[in-house]
Amino acid sequence: MEANRRTAGIAVAIAAILLISIFTMSSVFDSDDDGVYNWSDNCPETSNSNQDDADADDSGDVCDDDDDGDGIDDSEDMFPLDAGESTDFDADGVGDNSDPDFDGDGVKNGEDSFPSDPAEWLDTDGDEIGDNADADDDGDGLDDSADPFPLTPKSALDELGPFRVGTDDFTFTASTGITLKVQVWYPTSDETGERVIYDNLYPGDAWDRATPDCSQTHPVVLYSHGTGSGLRWMSGFLVEWLTSHGFVVVAPDHVDDNLFDFDFYKLPDTLLRRPIDLRDSYDWMVSESEGGGEFSGCIAGDAGYAVMGHSGGGYTSLTASGATIAIANLTAECDDGEDAACQMRDTWLEANPGTDTIDLSDDRIWATVALAPWTGLVLDEGLADIDTPVMVLTGDIDETTNISMVTGIVDEIETDELHFGIIAGAGHHQFSPLGCETYGCEGQIENNITMDLTNASVIVFFAQLLDWPDADTYAFPETEYIEWQ
C-alpha cells in the first residue's frame, strides 16, 4: 500500500511539473498568447492573431506607429493604411494627392490660383490677392464697386474696346406666335476664332459661334433693321463696336419685313409688331441669362435695355421708347383713302377695343438711338410722349428719309435729353453699308467716315447715361463732317 501511495504521489508530482512546464513553455514561445509563436509573430509582445502588416515591414499594424510606411505617424495620418495619402484638406474623404479639388471650392486645382484657399480661386490682375478679397480685381485703378466691368481693365472710348467679340444666331417663338431669328453679339474669352460671314453674304469682324464670356454682367442694346430690305446685321460695324466695349447686342429679323421676306401688303401689321419683336427679343435674352444656358449670368434682366435702329428701325426704336400713334389720325387718313391706315387702325382696335392711342412702348428702355429714322407715315405729335434720352443721327443728302423728315421727327421730340447730329455728305445707306454696295453711294463721303462718327457718338452717349467712370471727359465728335443741332 505504501508503495502504491508513493507511486501515486510521484505521478501527481510529475503531472504538476509537466503542467507547469507547458505554461512556462507557452510563455516562452508565444509571449502575447495570441496563438502565434514568437519566432513568427510580427508583434510578439502585442496580441495580433491576424498578423496584418500593411507596409510589409515585418512589424504588424497593431504595434507599428506607421502602418503604411509613408513616414507619417499613424496618429497624424488621415489615411494610415494608404501610403499614397496622409492629408485631406477639405475633409471630403478623398486624399489631397488624388483630390482634383484640393480645397473643395468647386474649382479644379489646375485652374485654381489659390488651390489651398477655399475662399479664393481667381486672381484676374495677378497681384497675388484673390478676387474675392481684392477691391480692384482687374487692376485698372477703379474700385470694383464703381467699375462697370470689374474683371476687364478699362480702355478709352475713342478706340476699339477691350473685349473680343463673338456672335451667333438663334430662333425662338415670340409672344405673337411667330418664329423670330435673332443675331446676338457678345464678349468672348476665346483666344482665336473664325470671322463671321453674315447669312453667307457679308463679312464681319466678330468671331462666329464663339463661346460667350458671362463672368460679369453686360448692358444690353436691341437693334432694329430697316424696312423692306433690311437685315438684323445691317449695321454690323456699330454693334461690333459696342460689343467690344462690353455690350450685349440682340437684333431680330422682322418677319414679313426684311430683305429675304418682305410683304408690302403686311406693312401695317409689321409696323405694329416691330416694337413687340424688340420686347420679345429682350425677354428671350433675359430668360437665356437667367437659365442654365450658354448666356447664363451675361445680363441683369432688371437693368433694362437701350434701343437703336436704322430707317424703319428708327421708327421701331422711337415707338418702342414711347412714341404713340393717335387712332383719330389713322381714321382721318383712312377716310382720305389710305387703306394702310385703315388696316393698321383696325388691327389694333381688334386686339385693343375702345382705345384711342396706339402705345407700343416698353418702360424698361433707358436710351434710344435713331439712325436716319423713318416716320412709318404715322409718327407725328405722338413723338412727344418719348421720355428716354434720344440721339438722332442722319445725313444731309439722304434721299430716302430726307433731312426735312428727320428734322420733323426731332422737332416733335420733347425729352429732356436730345442730341441731333447731321453728317455732311452722308446718305441713307451709309448707316447700313451693304446698302451702299447694293444700291451705290456715289457722290457721298466715304463709308468709314460715317461709321466712325456713328461709333464715336453712340458709345459716348451710352457710356455717359450709364455713368461709366471718365465718360464725362469725352465729348461727341467735333469735325467738319458733323454738325450738332
Domain end position, chosen among 36, 70, 104: 70
Q: How many domains is the chain partitioned into structurally?
A: 2
Q: What is the pLDDT of residues 309-337, one digit of tens each?
A: 999 999 999 999 999 999 999 999 999 99
Residues 193 and 60 in one domain: no
Residues 51 and 192 in one domain: no
Inter-residue contact 118 to 103 (CB < 8 Å): yes
CATH number of the domain to which 381 belongs = 3.40.50.1820
For the chain, the straight-line distance linking the first and the last C-alpha, in angstroms and rounded, comes to: 150
89 — pLDDT class (breaks 50, 70, 90): confident
Q: Residue 19: is its pLDDT beyond 60?
A: no
**Is residue 284 domain-resident?**
yes
The per-residue DSSP string of 453-478 comes to HHHHHHHHHHHHHTT-TTGGG-----
User: Of 244, 249, 280, 230, whose CA–CA distance to 183 is shortest?
Assistant: 249
93: DSSP letter:
S
Q: What is the pLDDT of residue 448?
A: 96
**Whole-angstrom Cα distance, residue 84 to residue 197?**
54
Beta carbons within 8 Å of 316's beta carbon, 6+ residues apart: 224, 254, 274, 275, 277, 278, 307, 309
Beta carbons within 8 Å of 231's beta carbon, 6+ residues apart: 198, 199, 225, 253, 258, 259, 260, 434
Size of the chain, expressed as the number of residues it contains: 485
Q: Nine-digit cell at 298? A: 451675361
**Is residue 130 domain-resident?**
no
Amino acid found at 197: I
**Is residue 283 domain-resident?**
yes
HEC secondary structure over 358-374:
ECCCCCCEEEEEEECCC
Q: What is the pLDDT of residue 431?
A: 97
Q: Residue 360: is its pLDDT beyond 90?
A: yes
Q: Residue 82: is its pLDDT beyond 80?
A: no
**Is residue 176 domain-resident?**
yes
Average pLDDT over residues 443-452: 96
- Classify 219 as helix, strand or coil: coil
Q: What is the pLDDT of residues 49-75, one digit of tens each?
A: 677 777 667 676 777 677 677 777 767
pLDDT higher at 119 or 398: 398
Domain end position, chosen among 23, 51, 70: 70
Inter-residue contact 118 to 104 (CB < 8 Å): yes
User: Of 195, 121, 192, 187, whose CA–CA distance to 155 is shortest?
Assistant: 187
Q: What is the pLDDT of residue 189?
A: 95
- Classify 131 as helix, strand or coil: coil
**Whole-angstrom Cα distance, residue 405 to residue 372?**
9
**Is residue 61 domain-resident?**
yes
Q: What is the pLDDT of residue 373?
A: 98
Q: What is the pLDDT of residues 124-151, one digit of tens each?
A: 767 666 676 667 767 878 887 888 999 8
**Is residue 399 domain-resident?**
yes
**Whole-angstrom Cα distance, residue 78 to residue 93?**
9
**Is residue 279 domain-resident?**
yes
Residues 30 and 177 in one domain: no
Q: Indicate the range of 61-75, 184-198, 342-356 predicted with least confidence.
A: 61-75
Inter-residue contact 273 to 187 (CB < 8 Å): no
Q: Residue 14: is its pLDDT beyond 70?
A: no
Q: Residue 13: is its pLDDT beyond 90?
A: no
Residues 64 and 174 in one domain: no
Beta carbons within 8 Å of 259's beta carbon, 6+ residues apart: 228, 229, 230, 231
Q: Indicate the range of 6-15, 39-48, 217-226, 241-250 predicted with least confidence.
A: 6-15
Q: What is the pLDDT of residue 164?
A: 98
Residues 285 and 398 in one domain: yes
Q: Indicate the range of 34-48, 180-194, 348-362 predicted with least confidence.
A: 34-48
Q: What is the pLDDT of residue 78?
A: 76
**Is residue 136 domain-resident?**
no
Residues 279 and 412 in one domain: yes
User: Of 167, 178, 152, 177, whose CA–CA distance to 223 is shortest?
Assistant: 167
Q: What is the pLDDT of residue 273?
A: 98
Domain end position, chosen among 37, 70, 103: 70
Q: Which domain holds residue 64?
A: 2-70
Residues 422 and 291 in one domain: yes
Q: What is the pLDDT of residue 172?
A: 98
Dihedral-angle region of residue 157 (phi above 0 means left; psi in -120 to 50 means alpha; beta otherwise): alpha
Q: Indicate the range of 67-81, 240-254, 314-328, 447-461 predicted with least confidence.
A: 67-81
Q: What is the pLDDT of residue 85?
A: 84
Q: What's the burial of 280, exposed, middle or buried (CB within 10 Å: 0-12/13-18/19+)? A: buried
Share of residues in the chain with pLDDT > 90 (%): 67
Residues 64 and 171 in one domain: no
**310: which strand partners?**
371
User: Of 167, 165, 360, 179, whose CA–CA distance to 252 is shortest?
Assistant: 179
